[in-house]
């Protein structure tokens, strides 16, 4: 397909439909029952369970693997979901290679860990799609809680509170619930509309009234939420991408990587999604990796991911870096953007080489580009007057903010890693603290 005069090099349909389907197929296909048994049989069931210690949600990994081995995957799933109600998604997107599997004794001894993530998926999928809803609500407490943000933290918090018998109103600014699980991860990590299906399953507990298109600072205000409810939990996530702060940043063809990923995730036909011939992604986290890899899979001829520090300082794991490289992404380290070059549209990006402290060395180079994606972190939206720690909401133990009756967790809160599994843990723990507070 020839590029149009107004969008040189940016076209849809660069790759045949059957190739696209293969490119965006399940990154780690599910295990069948026999494969799961064989994988589970490799576990040593360590008494000190370093894998469990490495899990942000403290799942009893040896127990659930033993339950799979004894032919009770539904029980294994309950063990997982009791600690991590989004265990199905975390089994797909969690960086197990730097958490539970990295400390697995099999990894230490043989260089090949037990496939904890895939075993977790086997168990949770078995229960979620074949078994009844394993959770029921306790007797109504008469207490109401507003949860703002239907991402991992908000969903985990809402489910735990509903289970305890509280009435929960779950607000989200977007037209669909799920947060980053729905809008912000690579499509090949979560196929078959899994994020949406998991949300529907979670809401099946009852007691959660989902209201979409409601944003804090727009239709919602903390003062009113606190007055109308017994408690408020903020799981806002982050919003706008940080600016590069360089000349030419507003040039057409320069956009946020998160917007590109969201559009891709919500597109029914990937063959209709335009992508550049030469794509440059600026950043070093998971968003940068996902954007660069998917641009390549859509058919971009050259994709370069440029990060201002060294390989070992890159937020994305070595596994994710290697995955991008295997798909054809060129990884460039120790380089920071200094200028966007172009007239009506972007034509190239000038970079300055940097040292270990990310300071310019005085040398530079230029990469041709017809499409540039920024992935250098995001900012918090309206904090409604809450105290901040850095650029996030300050929280104490249990997710308590500086305002009485208001809790926060997930990416909007200071402290933990920006991971789905960490957000789930923070939402769950805040729910426990809210419940204890409300019940005296």
Q: How far apart are CA 249 and CA 230, in angstroms?
A: 45
- Collapsing DSSP to helix, strand or coil, 368 comes out as strand
At 3 the pLDDT is 45
So what's the architecture of 241-375 in CATH? Answer: 3-Layer(bba) Sandwich (3.50)
At 125 the pLDDT is 97
Q: Are 33-130 and 144-239+379-438 equal in CATH topology?
A: no
Confidence tier at 8 by pLDDT (50, 70, 90):
low
Q: What is the pLDDT of residues 94-145, one digit of tens each?
A: 999 999 999 999 999 999 999 999 999 999 999 999 877 899 999 999 999 9
| Closest C-alpha among 240, 200, 253, 275 to residue 24 | 275
Checking if the pLDDT of 4 tops 80, the result is no
At 7 the pLDDT is 55
State in Å, rounded, how far the first CA of the chain is from the last one.
Answer: 66
Q: What is the pLDDT of residues 214-246, one digit of tens each?
A: 999 889 999 999 999 999 999 998 887 889 999
At 55 the pLDDT is 97
378/282: higher pLDDT: 282
At 57 the pLDDT is 97
Q: Please, what sign has the CA dihedral across residues 97, 98, 99, 105?
A: positive
Number of residues in the chain: 440
Given a contact cutoff of 8 angstroms between Cβ atoms, the answer to whether 169 and 147 are in contact is: yes
Q: How far apart are CA 107 and CA 154, in angstroms?
A: 34
Domain spans of the chain?
33-130, 144-239+379-438, 241-375
Q: What is the pLDDT of residues 268-327, one digit of tens each?
A: 999 999 999 999 999 999 999 999 999 999 999 999 999 999 999 999 999 999 999 999
| Closest C-alpha among 92, 237, 77, 86 to residue 159 | 86
At 217 the pLDDT is 87
So what's the architecture of 144-239+379-438 in CATH? Answer: 3-Layer(bba) Sandwich (3.50)
Residues 191-211, mean pLDDT to the nearest whole number: 96
| Closest C-alpha among 57, 233, 238 to residue 157 | 233
**Average pLDDT of the chain?**
94
C-alpha distances out from residue 66 to 60, 81, 181, Å: 10, 16, 29
- Collapsing DSSP to helix, strand or coil, 58 comes out as coil
At 179 the pLDDT is 96
Give the pTM: 0.94
Checking if the pLDDT of 28 tops 50, the result is yes
Q: What is the pLDDT of residues 62-88, one digit of tens each?
A: 999 999 999 999 999 999 999 999 999
In the chain, what percentage of residues exceed pLDDT 90?
90
CA dihedral 359, 364, 368, 372 (to 10 degrees): 10
Checking if the pLDDT of 5 tops 90, the result is no
Q: How far apart are CA 284 and CA 3, in angstroms?
A: 30
Q: Please, what sign has the CA dihedral across residues 423, 325, 19, 269?
A: positive
Residues 4-15, mean pLDDT to the nearest whole number: 74
For the domain spanning 33-130, the CATH number is 1.10.1060.10
Confidence tier at 2 by pLDDT (50, 70, 90):
very low
Checking if the pLDDT of 212 tops 90, the result is yes
| Closest C-alpha among 234, 153, 238 to residue 426 | 153
| Residue carrying structure tokens 């360590």 | 46
Q: What is the pLDDT of residues 145-194, one digit of tens each?
A: 999 999 999 999 999 999 999 999 999 999 999 999 999 999 999 999 99
Residues 48-52, mean pLDDT to the nearest whole number: 95
At 110 the pLDDT is 94
Checking if the pLDDT of 1 tops 50, the result is no
Residues 247-265, mean pLDDT to the nearest whole number: 95
Q: How far apart are CA 80 and CA 70, in angstroms?
A: 16
């Amino acid at each position: 397909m020839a590029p149009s005069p107004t969008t040189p090099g940016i076209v849809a349909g660069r790759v045949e439909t059957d190739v696209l389907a293969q490119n965006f197929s399940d990154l780690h296909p599910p295990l069948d029952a026999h494969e799961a048994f064989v994988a589970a049989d490799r576990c040593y069931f360590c008494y000190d369970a370093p894998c469990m210690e490495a899990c942000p949600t403290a799942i009893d990994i040896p127990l659930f693997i033993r339950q799979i081995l004894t032919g009770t995957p539904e029980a294994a799933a309950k063990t997982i979901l009791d600690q991590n109600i989004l265990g199905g998604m975390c089994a797909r997107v969690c960086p197990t290679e730097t958490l539970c599997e990295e400390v697995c004794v099999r990894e230490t001894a043989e260089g090949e860990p037990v496939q904890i993530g895939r075993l977790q998926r086997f168990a949770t999928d078995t229960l979620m799609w074949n078994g009844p809803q394993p959770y029921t609500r306790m007797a109504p407490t008469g207490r109401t809680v507003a949860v703002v943000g239907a991402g991992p933290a908000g969903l985990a918090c809402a489910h735990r509170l509903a289970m305890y018998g509280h009435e929960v109103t779950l607000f989200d600014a977007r037209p669909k619930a799920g947060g980053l699980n729905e809008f912000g991860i690579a499509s090949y990590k979560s196929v078959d509309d899994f994020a949406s299906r998991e949300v529907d399953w979670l809401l099946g507990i009852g007691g959660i009234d989902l209201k979409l298109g409601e944003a804090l600072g727009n239709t919602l205000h903390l003062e009113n939420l606190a007055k109308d409810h017994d408690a408020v939990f903020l799981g806002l996530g982050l919003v706008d991408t940080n600016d590069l702060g360089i000349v030419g940043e507003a040039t057409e063809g320069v956009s946020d990587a998160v917007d590109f990923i969201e559009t891709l995730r919500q597109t029914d036909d990937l063959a209709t999604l335009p992508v550049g011939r030469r794509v440059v992604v600026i950043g070093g986290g998971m968003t940068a990796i996902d954007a660069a890899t998917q641009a390549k899979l859509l058919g971009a001829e050259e994709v370069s991911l440029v990060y201002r520090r060294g390989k070992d300082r890159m937020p994305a794991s070595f596994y994710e870096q290697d995955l991008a490289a295997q798909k054809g992404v060129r990884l460039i380290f120790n380089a920071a953007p200094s200028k966007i070059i172009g007239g009506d549209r972007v034509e190239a990006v000038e970079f300055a080489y940097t040292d270990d402290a990310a300071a310019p060395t005085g040398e530079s180079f230029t990469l041709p580009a017809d499409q540039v994606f920024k992935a250098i972190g995001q900012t918090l939206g309206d904090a409604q007057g809450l105290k901040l720690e850095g650029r996030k909401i300050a929280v104490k133990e249990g997710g308590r903010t500086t305002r009485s009756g208001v809790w926060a967790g997930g990416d909007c809160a200071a402290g933990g890693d920006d991971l789905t599994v960490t957000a789930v843990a923070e939402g769950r723990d805040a729910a426990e603290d809210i419940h204890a507070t409300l019940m005296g």
